[in-house]
Amino acid sequence: MTAAPNLVTLAQKTRTSARSLALEPIARRNEALESIANALLSHADEIVAANQADCAAAVEDQISSALYARLKLDRTKLNGAIAGVRDVVKLADPIGELQIHRELDTGLVMKRVSCPMGVLGVIFEARPDAVMQISSLAIKSGNGLILKGGKEAVRSCMALVKAIHAGLEAVGLDASLVQLLTTREETFELLKLDTYVDLIIPRGSNSFVQFVQNNTRIPVLGHADGICHLYVDKAADFVKAIPIVIDSKTQYPAACNAIETLLVHESIAATFLPQVAIALKECCVELRGDEATCKILSNATAATDEDWVTEYGELILSIRIIRNVDEAIEHITRYGSRHTEAIVTEDAQTAAQFLAEVDAAGVYQNCSTRFADGFRYGFGAEVGISTQKMPPRGPVGLEGLVTYKYQMVGNGHIAATYVGDQAKPFTHRDLD
């Protein structure tokens, strides 16, 4: 491999290409996506071979089986990802949306129009299919992209980006729209490029996301924690509650929208907990309970204060018995990460209180927390889940990759006309 090119030069080139892409009509951007999908298909052998080399090296390095599963990109997974690129073609154009159209005065008209962010910096872990997903979302939204993948996937990522470059060039677009960084040093450099990069999207562990947030002046779209709760109310229907507990905890325990803590109303604890414990035991979930829980469940160990603030990410569930919905909300306010919080109840008033008062990106009644996901919300594709409070919040689709600008056209209008004793009033009339 040759020496890493100067990162500023690289970012400048991406920025320039992105400025041109931003002006391309949606037909051209979709054509580019189709071309990329075709190029990925025609480079499939090369991509799969590169991934096999990554996988062989990973086995030698004795990486975990979970990491290996994410790294592996066989023909089936590749075909699925290529289909995903074509799915992005079908999404509505996020650019050029007229959000406000207003006459301020006769002949002075303002439009607020959505437009691309500019250049995105995306740092991800071992999962090479992220390259295809993120590249297609970036091109669709008219943005340039600087990617940094995990070192385990370096050969796969290089083969994928080579194919993406071929796809871009086949329709006359600049290959520098999508750049790949391969070294850890470049990650640090990337975080300093606040003149050239408009948004950083880190995809990885909580501590990694926090590291990124603390080490860049570029806005960061990412979630730091996913401590989600499920509250089973006294008016819960157990027939719904038990499958929801199981799904929320075990359907994919490593996901940020899986629950870590089960809150149970005291008046149903003695009947509900033994039933749910059987189902949880079948799924090999380790239970940690407060004192009251341990009295009911002999197989639960005592939870400590640490348990309420821990995102296990595995088959462990902490359980606490509480007195009412207010106490449940209080617990969630204190320990939750404002990601996704759910209640199981048939009582409409209690549910309404929970949905109104709990401060989280997602507040659910009678369904699994695992629905907190861009695909499931119908956003078509997801750039990530945000636990920041300012929008974009929760699962973020293409809208997280665009911003807007105010365009105003006048006919010699000056502000002085609208100031002082003789001030002309504004009409402020919405058009269309």
> Which residues sit at the interface with a copy of itself, rule CB under 8 A?
19, 23, 102, 104, 108, 110, 115, 117-118, 198-199, 213-214, 217, 219, 237, 239-240, 243-244, 246-248, 251, 351, 355-357, 359-368, 370-372, 376-378, 388-391, 393-395, 403-416, 418-419, 426, 428
Name which of 4 and 254 has its Cβ closer to a copy of itself.
254
Name which of 302 and 419 has its Cβ closer to a copy of itself.
419
Provide the minimum distance between the beta carbon of 110 and a copy of itself in the complex, in angstroms, as a whole number.
Answer: 6
290: tokens are 């407060």
Name which of 122 and 351 has its Cβ closer to a copy of itself.
351
Name which of 47 and 361 has its Cβ closer to a copy of itself.
361
Name which of 6 and 417 has its Cβ closer to a copy of itself.
417
Strand order from edge to edge, sheet including 144-148 = 178-181, 144-148, 119-123, 199-202
Question: Which H or E run contains 370?
Answer: none
Integer distance in angstroms from the first to the last C-alpha of the chain?
56
Name which of 289 and 397 has its Cβ closer to a copy of itself.
397
Write down the residue that tokens 């889940």 correspond to.
Answer: 385
Residue 294 near residue 320 (C-beta atoms within 8 A): no
Provide the minimum distance between the beta carbon of 413 and a copy of itself in the complex, in angstroms, as a whole number.
Answer: 4
- Helix, strand or coil, per DSSP, at residue 397: coil
Residues linked to residue 264 through DSSP beta bridges, in sequence order = 232, 321
Provide the minimum distance between the beta carbon of 393 and a copy of itself in the complex, in angstroms, as a whole number.
Answer: 6
Provide the minimum distance between the beta carbon of 363 and a copy of itself in the complex, in angstroms, as a whole number.
Answer: 5
Provide the minimum distance between the beta carbon of 250 and a copy of itself in the complex, in angstroms, as a whole number.
Answer: 9
Long-range interactions of 235-238: CB distance < 8 A, separation 24+: 235/345, 235/346, 235/347, 235/350, 236/265, 236/268, 236/272, 236/344, 236/345, 236/346, 237/344, 237/346, 237/366, 238/271, 238/272, 238/275
154-170 and 26-42 helices, crossing angle to 10°: 130
363: tokens are 């507040």
State the Cα–Cα distance between residues 103 and 202, nearest whole angstrom: 41
Write down the residue that tokens 């086949």 correspond to.
Answer: 170
Residue 139 near residue 89 (C-beta atoms within 8 A): no
Provide the minimum distance between the beta carbon of 198 and a copy of itself in the complex, in angstroms, as a whole number.
Answer: 5
Provide the minimum distance between the beta carbon of 115 and a copy of itself in the complex, in angstroms, as a whole number.
Answer: 8
β-pairing verdict for 119-123 and 144-148: parallel
Name which of 182 and 340 has its Cβ closer to a copy of itself.
340
Name which of 75 and 217 has its Cβ closer to a copy of itself.
217
Provide the minimum distance between the beta carbon of 174 and a copy of itself in the complex, in angstroms, as a whole number.
Answer: 16
66: tokens are 């979970």
Residue 265: how many other CB atoms lie within 10 Å: 23
Residue 303 near residue 317 (C-beta atoms within 8 A): no
Name which of 284 and 415 has its Cβ closer to a copy of itself.
415
Provide the minimum distance between the beta carbon of 128 and a copy of itself in the complex, in angstroms, as a whole number.
Answer: 22
